[in-house]
Amino acid sequence: MRGSCKRGGFAGGKGIGPVAWRSNLRCGVKHPTPHIFEMTPDSLAAWCSAEGIGGGRAFVAKQILEWVYTKGEVDPERMTNLSKLDRDRLAAKMTFLSGSVVRHMKASDGVQKLLVEWDEPAGAIESSGDISLPMAGGREQGKGTGLQTECVMIPADDRRTACISSQVGCPVGCRFCASGIGGLDGNLSVGRIVEQVWRLGRLEGVGRITNVVFMGMGEPLSNFANVTGAIRILSSLWATGISARKITISTVGLPQAITRLAEQFELPVTLALSLHAPNDEIRRQLIPWAEYTTIKDLLSACQKWFEKTGREITLEYTLLHNVNDRPKHAKELAVIAKTLRANINLIRYNEVDGMPFERPRDANVLEFQKVLRDEGVNVHIRASRGRDIKAACGQLRHETAKAAGGR
């Protein structure tokens, strides 16, 4: 099939199995454009008409999208209600799968993780808000050793959550996170963002993806147009039909970018602020971009978001042993949380080789939570999932690159 690599069995919409990693995995395929996963019914109908597919019949576009999203089929040859000529034209002129799976790992708790390599250059880097910030690692776009991103399927009761990436690498460079090691290679397109969700939904035993969180690699609001475009598709009934209220955008936080989201995006997504510190001093030690704003300004932008959407903010707080996990830090955090309508997710740090941070002690995590609850704050400890397969953001990509002698 044109537009995919025949590696590890993802043809025909079937669930993939484990894929052994090896070096020099670039497919070298130059995909045709456009990408099926960035098409809407209207844009696909217009494209089909221009390409002479379907004889000008508008319902052909609907049939194609039903094959992809309802039946999970991405091989035009198997779209049997299309003519042979139309199937051939689709295969030659439309990209269905833009990347290839480098590794597929399954954890003992049911979490599954894919490492996907995109074999063409990543998209242009978009400015985040009204100011231009330096990128972590100082590398130019496209100068990396491989355009790889991660996505994770997390099962819990009746939920199937897709944790997806928005960029190749990350421009923020949080000191404790593996995603920003080596900097940013570029943005993922609308199609490549949606494709991650489709891939995870086709894994064996998953069924329908019910929730999406932009908590993989990248800073989503630095890729604003593509992230919001992908959410519009993911929430559409003709596509995956995931409620916008079950889609979370996690951002390290720039006031201009949050304000832009509140003013320019119409869907009621959940906003999560990656706070990770109770004061500006510690936050600037952990997050380079925190040099360009303050917690006070971030809270003001989040308040505007709440006033426009009525949606509660989630404050994400990664606990690092002896860095930000003391009772005094919890008391500072409580003051922050009570300034706006917010809940707090406490995240126990997953260690990354080569980084000088430790996972918090269980007793300290529980004490931290108790201090917050005693202050009347709605707080939860996020369950650590997929630790035996390096499921935390950027870890698998980092380990794979190290094994190959790369960055």
Q: At residue 141, does pLDDT exceed 50?
A: no
Distance between CA atoms of residues 362 and 57, nearest Å = 61
Asked if 150 and 396 touch (Cβ cutoff 8 Å), the reply is: yes
Q: At residue 121, does pLDDT exceed 70?
A: no
**pLDDT per residue as tens digits for the range 318-364:** 999 999 999 999 999 999 999 999 999 999 998 888 888 999 999 99
Q: Which CA distances in Å does 140 have to 144, 190, 223? A: 8, 22, 16
Give the DSSP per-residue string, 207-270.
----EEEE-SSS-GGGGHHHHHHHHHHHTSTTTT---GGGEEEEE---HHHHHHHHHH--S--E
Whether residue 393 lies in the annotated active site: yes
The reported pLDDT for the residue numbered 140 is 42
DSSP letter at 161 equals E
Q: Which of 38, 73, 117, 150 is catalytic?
A: 150
Whether residue 150 lies in the annotated active site: yes
The reported pLDDT for the residue numbered 57 is 85
Residue 288: is the preceding peptide bond cis (ω within 30°)? no
Scan for tokens 């025909």, then name that residue: 12
**CA dihedral for 305, 306, 308, 310, sign (positive or negative):** positive
Asked if 221 and 258 touch (Cβ cutoff 8 Å), the reply is: yes
Q: What is the pTM for the complete model shown?
A: 0.85
The reported pLDDT for the residue numbered 385 is 74
Mean pLDDT of 131-139: 48
Q: For residue 58, what pLDDT band results from cuts at 50, 70 and 90?
A: confident
Of the ranges 16-30, 116-130, 161-175, 209-223, which one carries the lowest mean pLDDT score?
Answer: 16-30
Asked if 121 and 405 touch (Cβ cutoff 8 Å), the reply is: no
Give the domains, in start order, of the chain with CATH numbers. 11-23+30-93 (1.10.150.530), 107-403 (3.20.20.70)
Give the start-end residues of each E strand in 136-223: 148-156, 159-163, 167-169, 184-187, 211-214
Mean pLDDT of 388-404: 52
Supply the mean pLDDT for the chain.
Answer: 84
Residue 368 one-letter amino acid = F
The reported pLDDT for the residue numbered 16 is 28
Q: Is 406 left (phi over 0), alpha (psi -120 to 50) or beta?
A: beta
Of the ranges 122-126, 133-137, 288-292, which one carries the lowest mean pLDDT score?
Answer: 133-137
% of the chain surpassing 90 pLDDT: 69
Mean pLDDT of 66-75: 97
